[in-house]
């Protein structure tokens, strides 16, 4: 799943927001029965691998994520709007598909010229292992 900032504003890739994102994701199984696997936070969008029960649950989770991060950004003195409407999702049907998609997403910071090697991008990680 991918969410993008409004007008592709570069407001996301920072340590404080990364911590808020991780806290939200770590609470997700208990609060919304949603499990977060791997993710990468780029300056103007977030890619996140999510396991949940249907599109309604994904919509609720995404709305909560956007609201949580918007609250954090406002507290930092950044004004909205923060998000493009909606989100982009892609259904993965196998562990092979998950691996292939992750390898592509993981290299985003390299392709964007933010780091020479994706392993050096500090705004990526995994909340829990999503098993097929």
| Per-residue pLDDT tens digits for 55-83 | 678 888 899 999 999 999 999 999 999 99
The reported pTM is 0.89
Q: Does residue 132 lie within any of the structural domains?
A: no
Q: Does residue 15 lie within any of the structural domains?
A: yes
Q: Does residue 131 lie within any of the structural domains?
A: no
Q: Does residue 101 lie within any of the structural domains?
A: yes
Pick from 124, 67, 58: which is nearest to 90 by CA? 58
The predicted-structure confidence for 79-121, as pLDDT tens digits, reads as follows 999 998 877 566 555 666 777 888 888 999 999 999 999 999 9
Long-range Cβ contact pairs of 100-104 (< 8 A, separation 24 or more): 101/49, 102/38, 102/49
What is the predicted pLDDT for the residue at 48?
93
**What's the mean per-residue pLDDT of the chain?**
88
Structural domain containing residue 17: 2-126
Domain total of the chain:
1
Indicate which CATH number applies to the domain containing 98.
3.30.70.1290
């Amino acid at each position: 799943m991918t969410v993008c900032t409004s007008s592709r504003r570069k407001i996301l890739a920072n340590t404080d927001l990364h911590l808020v994102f991780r806290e939200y994701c770590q609470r997700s199984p208990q609060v919304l029965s949603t499990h977060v696997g791997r993710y990468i936070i780029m300056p103007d969008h977030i890619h996140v691998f999510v396991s949940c029960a249907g599109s309604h649950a994904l919509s609720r989770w995404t709305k909560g994520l956007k609201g949580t991060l918007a609250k954090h950004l406002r507290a930092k003195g950044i004004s909205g709007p923060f998000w493009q409407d909606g989100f982009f999702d892609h259904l993965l049907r196998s562990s092979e598909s998950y691996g292939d998609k992750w390898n592509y997403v993981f290299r985003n910071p390299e392709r964007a010229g933010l780091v020479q090697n994706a392993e050096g991008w500090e705004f990526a990680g995994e909340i829990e292992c999503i098993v097929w």
